[in-house]
Amino acid sequence: MNFALTEEQTAIFDMAYGFGQEHIAPHAQTWEKAGMIPKELWPDLAVLGFGALYVSEDMGGTGLSRLDATLVFEALSMACPSVAAFLSIHNMCAKMLESFASDVLKHRVLPDVLAMHTVLSYCLTEPGSGSDAAALKTRADCTNEGYVVNGTKAFISGGGYSDAYVCMVRTGEDGPKGISTLYIEDGTKGLSFGALEDKMGWRSQPTAQVQFDNCKVSAENLVGEEGKGFEYAMAGLDGGRLNIAACSLGAAQMALTNTLTYMGERKAFGRSIDQFQGLQFRLADMEIELQAARTFLRQAAWKLDTGAPDATKFCAMAKKFVTEAGSKVVDQCLQLHGGYGYLADYGIEKLVRDLRVHQILEGTNEIMRMIVARQLLAARWGCPCPVCGWKIDFGNPVPLRPDWALISSCDAIMAQDGNAVIPPHRWWCGWHAAGAAGTGRGNAVIPPHRWWLANPEAISRYAVKTLWYPGHAMRCRP
């Protein structure tokens, strides 16, 4: 097992670091006060290939791996995590378009997206749906010409600043299967923006609500298929979580580097403060945290690149661990600066503010814990389907137990008698209309070979064991 970066990866990191230190770091404080990143910066980054990091080379992108991309964001965040994070959002949107948009839409918009003449924003969150993203309300009604969109998106980085918005909207029923993705360009009639949010951190990024009032969107601007929007939105989150973790890592590393310099210069009680053992222990603890975070992040990125079955779990774990480690380190760096750390001139307090939001976006760290716990529990209970004989693919290797199985495409548990058990909090997934009977514990039971029927015959079984199970759908595979 070789943990060293290749020569190419080292060159990627060095190129991003050099650009950041020359073109971003000297202006970071000014841009924060102005509340705006100059748009002239983005084409310069695109020249280096940073506007299309994981778009394939066939489409004009850079074609980097997810591990390579974390190096870019780690290096750029050493100059300013706010700028680096905004670039991550653009790249996530660009990859969504390459992966799912029609050829017509791709050929029309991708050239300017990759050159960053068109800067993209990602619009999923709404005032009433954050972690519960599938509950979004923004509606897109189909017309002869396309769609009419009504609703509001909240906390949108680049709201009123970006040139186009990749928007998740409801075109069908409640729940994730009723969500589609639309590409909505700035200047579209009916598209407007709220006032800029006055944020704790990421102040150089303009953030605002994105509002749709009978906003008319061409049918050609549908990304992929109707009803697949939530799937598309989730597809980019593993990589997004790695990127935001990399932004925390790079910023924290720069804070530690600057703190080491400061402690060598700052004198107290007749010697530089880096000579006090108690403070040396703090430095050692921070170095240990960052090295562990870096190794964890790169392992998760490697798993995502290689298609490891537990990649999603590792991305969630890395996001939680690295963002919390980064915030802890920059807070300690501020403490070691004393009163000077509290002043804007030293740049440490900006990092404390910028990194705090990393524990909230791309899925809160509470959601990261839920993902990990659910997969641990699912691994404990999974087994082959006794009806079709196939194993269940939920993104992890499954330790088998003979008397339980998860059922394809629903939040169900298979009892050893072959009946599907539907927990009561999941009846909304369609089984509430399927005539399912209660077990006396609030669970519904549906006999085998009848899950696909509109009105399956249901029976009540009091002996069926109750088991809580995560809310994402499963699928069988041979």
Residues annotated as catalytic are 362
β pairing state of 222-223 and 179-185: antiparallel
Distance separating alpha carbons of residues 32 and 42, to the nearest angstrom:
17
Which amino acid is present at 137? K
∠133-136-142 over CA atoms, to 5°? 135
8 Å CB contact between 446 and 458: yes
Give the dihedral sign, CA 248/254/259/262: negative
Q: Residues for the chain: how many in total?
A: 478
Distance separating alpha carbons of residues 255 and 334, to the nearest angstrom:
8
Measured in whole angstroms, how far is the alpha carbon of residue 280 from the centre of its chain? 36
Helix (H) or strand (E) holding 233: helix 229-235
Q: Two tokens at 195? A: 């006032």
∠302-305-309 over CA atoms, to 5°? 85
Q: What share of the chain is helix, strand, coil (3-state, %, to 5)?
A: 50, 15, 35
**Nearest alpha carbon to residue 477 among 381, 370, 392:** 392
β pairing state of 191-193 and 179-185: unpaired
